[in-house]
Amino acid sequence: MRSEELNWFDVENYLQQDERLMLVLGACEQHAYLSLTTDVRIPLALADAAAGKTGVLVAPTVNFGASPYFLAYPGTLSLRISTLLDLVEDLVRSAYGQGFRRILVLNGHGGNDPVRLRLYELTSALPGLRLAWYAWWTSHSVTEVARRYELKPAHANWLEAFPFTLVCELPAGEKQPPFIPGLLGAAEARLAYGDGSFGGPYLAPADVMEAVFAAALKDVIELLEFKE
């Protein structure tokens, strides 16, 4: 249940019986041959699936993240890290003010990781608020699936090539992971990463992708229990 399909009366009713919210943080950045909003689509797909099983509300997506290193790839629209932190703070405070008390942040993009620090600041400032963070590709469940299939997960390789992130056909074969010396600026990063993938196979068989998704979904559903 996405809040965009609701009006405020619906959310008021929802809050009578539930105080949970899912907040999707994405990015609009190069993902090699995949959609520029791959990092929105994956956590949103997880949120939708989890909402289907739990009834937990899904807020509108944050379509932009912090991607300074990919700004030389056309189509990448990046927030300064300071902007992103303020943005997430505003959303959390808005929801808190209306009675949401357990918020699961579903992050789709590594560059958004600093948001965690702001969330720590907020959870101390807002009594009774519980926050959880899930970055699906770093979870033990997902990396375990990758290990099982002997596939190395990386930005814009098979790991993110879900049916719903494809916007064209993918190259066959594998890419040699590039050597990355230190923290590259945008221009250097484009030279180093070429097509944008961090290397490895561009594609994995459908059953692998389903296993990855299922593993992450299981995590999300469990996190939504907000165990103490």
Residues 177 to 216: which contact its own copies by CB under 8 A? 181-188, 196
Torsional class of 200: left (φ above 0), alpha (ψ -120 to 50), beta (otherwise): left
- Interaction of residue 221 with its own copies, rule CB under 8 A: no
Distance CA 18, CA 70 (A): 39
Query: Judged by CB, which is closer to its own copies: 114, or 199?
Result: 114
Among 54, 113, 152, 177, binds its own copies (CB under 8 A): 113
> Of 133 and 174, which has the nearer Cβ to its own copies?
133
Q: Which two tokens stand for residue 207?
A: 């059953």
Q: Which of 24, 27, 43 minimizes the C-alpha distance to 162? A: 43
Q: Mask 135-174, x = binds its own copies (CB under 8 A)?
A: --------------------------------xx------
> Which of these segments, 82-90, 137-145, 197-205, 207-215, binds its own copies (CB under 8 A)?
82-90
Report the distance separating Cα 88 and Cα 80, nearest Å. Answer: 13
Question: Min. distance of Cβ 25 from its own copies in angstroms?
Answer: 12
- Pairing label, strands 20-25, 174-175: unpaired
- Select from 42, 33, 13 the least CA-distant residue to 164: 42
Regarding 107 and contact with its own copies (CB under 8 A), the answer is no
Determine the length of the chain.
228
Nearer to its own copies, 173 or 227 (CB): 227
Residue 134 beta carbon to its own copies: minimum distance, rounded to whole angstroms: 10
Residue where the block lists tokens 């993918």: 170
Which token pair is 29? 């950045």
Residues 20, 22, 73, 108: which binds its own copies (CB under 8 A)? 73
Minimal distance, residue 116 CB to its own copies, in Å: 7
